[in-house]
Amino acid sequence: MKYTLKYFSFTKNEIKILLFIITVFLAGFSIKYIKYLSANTNDTTYDYTKTEDMFKKLSRSTLNNISRDSVENNNDNNIRQKLQTAEDSLKSKGKKKSKKEENLKLKSININTATKEILITLPGVGESTAEKIIKYREAHNGFKKIENIMKVKGIGKKKFEKLKDYIYVE
């Protein structure tokens, strides 16, 4: 090191300043590198609460419209009976079930009887996934429990976690 410094013929003050600049540069680089590493190791997740609330509001109105249309168009007694039961439970003041259970039933979909249009209103379910659900349901004589929907190709644990509050099986 001494040989190198003598080769450039720096004075003692110039050497001190040069070493100070190199030290500051290395310290700044180290701090920047540590911040970079800590920023990349943090696991950032997206907050779905706003989109989930918006979906709940939209799905309630859409489900009611689609369900009524399918009752009128398909004359499906099962859907008509469920709509009538839901409307009656809203009108009656007797508490057979808790309000939370009742509200969940009203906004939930029976995956064993739902049409393709109704299944599409579920979060993360498009036309192809709805068709796969219907094909699986027909091939296996319906779903025995809601967890069985994970056997449908394209529905894993993450998608099931989003769906489980909106589906039920009878």
Q: State the average pLDDT over residues 89-94.
A: 53
**For the chain, what percent of residues have pLDDT higher than 70?**
65
Mean of all residue pLDDT scores within the chain? 77
- Domain that includes residue 10, residue range: 2-41
Q: State the average pLDDT over residues 143-163.
A: 90
How far is CA 43 from each of CA 38, 40, 48, rounded to the nearest angstrom? Answer: 10, 8, 15
Same domain, 91 and 117: yes
Contact of 78 with 138, CB cutoff 8 Å: no
**For the chain, what percent of residues have pLDDT higher than 90?**
21
R_g of the chain computed on alpha carbons:
31
Residue 97 has pLDDT above 70, yes or no: no
Same domain, 37 and 120: no
Same domain, 35 and 60: no
Same domain, 145 and 63: yes
Same domain, 79 and 96: yes
Cα-Cα end-to-end distance for the chain:
83
Residue 129 has pLDDT above 50, yes or no: yes
Same domain, 129 and 87: yes
Same domain, 36 and 67: no
Same domain, 90 and 150: yes
Q: State the average pLDDT over residues 86-109.
A: 56
Contact of 169 with 143, CB cutoff 8 Å: yes
Same domain, 114 and 153: yes
Same domain, 161 and 118: yes
pLDDT tens-digit series, residues 9-24? 778 898 899 999 999 9
Three-state secondary structure string covering the chain? CHHHHHHHCCCHHHHHHHHHHHHHHHHHHHHHHHHHHHHHHCCCCCCCHHHHHHHHHHHHHHHHHHHHHHHHHHCCHHHHHHHHHHHHHHHCCCCCCCHHHHHHHHHCEECCCCCHHHHHCCCCCCHHHHHHHHHHHHHCCCCCCHHHHHHCCCCCHHHHHHHCCCEECC
Beta-carbon contacts of 75 under 8 Å, excluding residues fewer than 6 positions away, are none
What is the tally of structural domains in the chain?
2
pLDDT tens-digit series, residues 155-166? 999 988 888 888
Same domain, 60 and 137: yes
pLDDT of residue 19: 93
